[in-house]
């Protein structure tokens, strides 16, 4: 979204009544929560695919840290 569009959205928001603003805020919060859930679900599917392909390293925290340090 470009700056002009964002400014227009903010300007329009400021012209709403208090109840309408509260409603918009509630809707946006719910959309952000849903977007986060979708991102977690996509990441989970990606992780499961890597696990099935054997691309996942396992071990203790110490072992994983040592592996990172050896790269």
pTM over the 0.85 mark: no
Reported as a single tens digit per residue, the pLDDT across 8-50 is 999 999 999 999 999 999 999 999 999 999 999 999 999 999 9
Is 24 within 8 Å of 12 (Cβ atoms)? no
Distance CA(42)–CA(57), nearest Å, equals 20
- Domains in the chain: how many in total? 1
Name the one residue in this structure whose structure tokens are 């603003």. 21
Residue 71 has pLDDT above 80, yes or no: no
- Domain span at residue 60 reads 3-70
Q: Which two tokens stand for residue 18?
A: 């208090």
**Would you state the pLDDT for residue 57?**
81
Q: Which residues contact 67 (CB under 8 A, 6 or more apart)?
A: 57, 59
Reported as a single tens digit per residue, the pLDDT across 27-37 is 999 999 999 99
């Amino acid at each position: 979204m470009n700056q002009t569009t964002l400014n227009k959205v903010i300007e329009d928001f400021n012209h709403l009544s208090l109840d309408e603003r509260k409603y918009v805020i509630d809707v946006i919060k719910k959309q952000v929560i849903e977007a986060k859930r979708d991102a977690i679900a996509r990441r989970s599917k990606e992780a499961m695919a890597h696990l099935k392909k054997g691309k996942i390293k396992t071990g203790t925290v110490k072992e994983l840290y040592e592996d990172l340090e050896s790269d």
